[in-house]
Amino acid sequence: MYMKTIDDFDFENKKALIRVDFNVPLDSDFHVTDTNRIEAAKPTIIKVLEDGGSAILMSHLGRPKGQRNPDLSLRHICGAVSDIIGVQVKFVADCIGETAEKAVADLQSGEVLLLENLRFYAEEEQGDREFAGQLAKLGDIYVNDAFGTAHRAHASTTIVADFFPGNKCFGYLLAKEIQAIEKVMRTGEKPVLAILGGAKVSSKITIIENILDKVDDLIIGGGMTYTFVKAKGGKIGDSICEDDKMELAVAILKQAEAKGVNVHLPVDVLAANDFDNDADTQVVAVDQIPDGWQGLDAGPKTLEIFKEIILKSNTILWNGPVGVFEMENFAKGTIAVGNFIDEATQKGAFSLVGGGDSVAAVKQFGFEKKVSYVSTGGGAMLESLEGKSLPGIAAIIGE
């Protein structure tokens, strides 16, 4: 797949209209508490400036629902963006209309302008064409670098691209996201392994069905485990289970077998007599959990099996923890899986981590720099794995 990226353009004396994802967390004093998304956009912005162009940044923050909520103004993050980019970022208190257009007209090469929150206008989320046209007036070249919103057909992520025939491209971050998913789903070196965890089968059905044609091995962990185990006739005690998904679990196992995919379920678990970090625990066979007990983490034999599978894989997708990692006593399995993936990556495997909880676990336990790539977009990442076309990506590739 050919992708037009920011490297295909020279931005000298050009104004780059860049859709970034600066939907960052703020504390009660409006200080940014996690700057990862801003740091991730920096290389794209710097490329434009070093070419001799200027950068107009547009983003949303929170869910103002078309109302001007001063608590959700992007003014609050301007200082943090300036510090990270290394350039004093200008701010304009609107994103369309005369005020924004004048601020853009006054912008010199080498300067950066941050527009006000796009979602102060309901037209942004509605994908309104007229609103997108007003945004388009602000730049010569449209750059989408916001993977976190690529699955939304919003004005600034999708519709605006129509106004830039031949002058639209992906920023470095979004290009890397697309390449990482391509590597797992299409071009990855075999054996390809997917590790799917989390609580519910229902939230992963479409991912499982879509990746069965792409993977050699599938590890199922976390709360999903018990729906599969019960469906196979095992005793799961008080463990989480979606009874209405048991038939589906059996069907998935049959489908995997027909496609030659090895499915690996835990063989033992760390069970507790309460959903509490300080509960009594015991290691039991995954299909022999006593009544009154629930499985909350992968057991030692399971982790030995997982280690062997992970270390023989050349391409690894990790989506979802294998235990209740938020509680220290049930985080060991997720940490162990992180360590195995780290070891495999050091040996040359490509590892992609994506999806809310697994990304949170990777950050919490310091694996960010130990895997090949950590996705910045939860919903967009999941929809990509489900095989869906993302509007924000299609809008640029589709010419």
Task: Tell whether residue 295 is among the known ligand binding residues.
Answer: yes
Q: Is 66 a catalytic residue?
A: no
Q: Is 90 a catalytic residue?
A: no
> CB neighbours of 206 closer than 8 A, spacing ≥ 6?
386, 387
Which token pair is 348? 């040359």
Q: Is 200 a catalytic residue?
A: yes
Task: Tell whether residue 62 is among the known ligand binding residues.
Answer: yes
Task: Tell whether residue 140 is among the known ligand binding residues.
Answer: no
Q: Is 68 a catalytic residue?
A: no
Task: Tell whether residue 21 is among the known ligand binding residues.
Answer: yes
Task: Tell whether residue 75 is among the known ligand binding residues.
Answer: no
Where does residue 177 rank: exposed (0-12), middle (13-18), buried (19+ CB within 10 A)? buried
Catalytic residue from among 79, 234, 356, 387: 356
Task: Tell whether residue 204 is among the known ligand binding residues.
Answer: yes
Task: Tell whether residue 60 is among the known ligand binding residues.
Answer: yes
- Phi and psi at 295, nearest 5°, equal -75, 125
CA 313 to chain centre: 22
Catalytic residue from among 14, 15, 19, 37: 37
Task: Tell whether residue 119 is among the known ligand binding residues.
Answer: yes
Task: Tell whether residue 23 is among the known ligand binding residues.
Answer: yes
Task: Tell whether residue 116 is among the known ligand binding residues.
Answer: no
Buried (b) or exposed (e) across 45-59, using 16+ Cβ within 10 A? Answer: bbbbbebebbbbbbb
Task: Tell whether residue 69 is among the known ligand binding residues.
Answer: no
Catalytic residue from among 66, 133, 379, 387: 379
Where does residue 337 rank: exposed (0-12), middle (13-18), buried (19+ CB within 10 A)? buried
Catalytic residue from among 200, 232, 235, 301: 200
Which token pair is 357? 């909880």
| Residue 279 to residue 335: CA distance in whole angstroms | 20
Task: Tell whether residue 319 is among the known ligand binding residues.
Answer: no
The dihedral built from the CA positions of residue 79, 83, 84 and 87, taken in this order, carries a sign that is positive
Task: Tell whether residue 152 is among the known ligand binding residues.
Answer: yes
Annotated binding site: 21-23, 37, 60-63, 119, 152, 204, 295, 326, 355-358
Annotated binding site for ATP: 204, 295, 326, 355-358
- The catalytic site residues sit at 37, 200, 356, 379
Annotated binding site for (2R)-3-phosphoglycerate: 37, 119, 152
Annotated binding site for substrate: 21-23, 37, 60-63, 119, 152
